[in-house]
Every structure is written in C-alpha cells, then in structure tokens.
Amino acid sequence: MKLLLTSAGINNASIRDALVDLLGKPIAESSALCIPTASYAMGGPASAWRMITGRTSTPLCELGWKSLGVLELTALPSIEQERWVPAVREIDALLVGGGDVFYLGYWMQQSGLADLVPSLRAAWVGVSGGSMVVGPDIGEYFEGWQPPDGGDCALGMVDFSLFPHLDNENMPDFSMAGAQEWAAGLPGSGYAIDDQTAIKVTGGTVDVVSEGHWKLFTR
C-alpha cells in the first residue's frame, strides 16, 4: 500500500517529490480519480466544486495529471461495481479531499471502496480529513457528522493517527496544545503535522516529509 498523507496538499517541492516517487513516474504521465465526498458535509457543493476544479488552497487536482476523473462515493452503492471498479484498478492515484472525516469514512465503508483499497496499485493521496481517515482512530478531540451506526469511521489502513494543520493561525483548535489534548485521548501513536508536512507510507515504511514542523506522540 502506498500513501501520501498531507495536511494541505502538494504545496512544496519536498511533498511533490514524494508524490512522484510513489507514482514511479511524472505526474504528467499519471492518471487519477479525485474523491470530493468529505466536502459535502463541511463546505457543501461549492467546496466540492473548488476541489475538483483546482481552486482550493490545498493543491491536488491541479497538478497537471495526464487524466483526471471524479469518484463520488455516495453514488457508488446505487450502481453496479462493473461501472467503477475497473477504473479504480487502472489509475495511478486516488486524490482524497478534505472535509468531514467522519462522513468520508462512513461512505468509504458503505461504497465498498474501503475493502478495495488494499489491493489497488494506486497511491492514496490525502488532504486533511482525507489523510486522517486512514488511521486506526480519529480521536475524540474532533467532532463532525455522526454516522447512523455510531463509531468514528476510521479505516485502520495505517497504525498511527493524524492531526493536520498544526499551528495554522486561521485554525485555533489546531494548536500544539490542541494536538497534545488529542494525543492524550488516543489508544496508540499519532502524528501532528503542519501544512508543510506529509507522511509517506510505502508498505511498512513510514517517512516524514517536511519543510515545516511536526511531532510524533507515542504511548
């Protein structure tokens, strides 16, 4: 499994180089599908449109992909898998946008994509909530959309949790003090990363890619 877990997208040279390394070829030769689902429960339709069209402050879809499509998770349970699974298996990257992480995790599970991801050759490229969702726990510090069956909807694709936007001056809840409170409620380890940092996961190897600052909390 290949993952690039960012706080704010592909926004510096180090993170971009890490993405190209995961892809194994230039972005201009790579295909991708973007997942805007999380934005509907937080920013609404306009937020989803900005992600898809590359008009956000978290670069993802506007990187110059060879081809780009949209994979809307809420639509998948109502259509045959033959209409979307082959496309997911053929691409080089899944671009998973930010927003409400609980809503995203729920629809990852309901759509069946969560079960499919471990067998994909594609790299998972997450932004904010799209990165947080892959951990074993989201943490009680965060609140959002409540799934009908309870739980925090974390996917458990990696063995550490993630706290994004560390010390972002526009997000007071994402301070180092907030990260410490978040980490204290986790049963396991977690990374707090700022907007110039990403976590690169290749198989069982975890690397921090940063032009900013970050902190690992362990038990």
| DSSP designation for 98 | -
pLDDT of residue 219: 81
pLDDT digits 0-9 by tens, 63-95 = 999 999 999 999 999 999 999 999 999 999 999
Rounded to whole angstroms, the Cα distance separating 60 from 55 reads 10
pLDDT for res 204: 87
Q: Are 193 and 7 in contact (CB under 8 A)?
A: yes
171 close to 146: Cβ distance less than 8 angstroms? no
pLDDT for 1: 83
Under 8 Å between Cβ of 155 and 130: no
The single residue listed with the structure tokens 């997450």 is: 126
Number of domains in the chain: 1
Specify the pLDDT at position 144. Answer: 87
Res 141: pLDDT: 94
Pairing verdict, β 93-96 and 123-127: parallel
* Per-residue pLDDT at 150: 73
Dihedral of the alpha carbons of 204, 188, 141, 131, in degrees to the nearest 10? 0
Residues spanned by the domain of 56? 2-217
- Contacts by residues 82-86 (CB-CB < 8 Å, ≥ 24 positions apart): 85/116
Q: What φ, ψ does residue 170 adopt, rounded to 5°? A: -90, 0
Residue 5, CA distances (Å) to 45, 54, 105, 177, 197 in order: 24, 18, 15, 22, 9
Spans of the chain, pLDDT less than 50: none
Amino acid at 212: G
Residue 171, domain CATH: 3.40.50.880
Rg (CA), the chain: 16
CA distance 105 to 209: 25
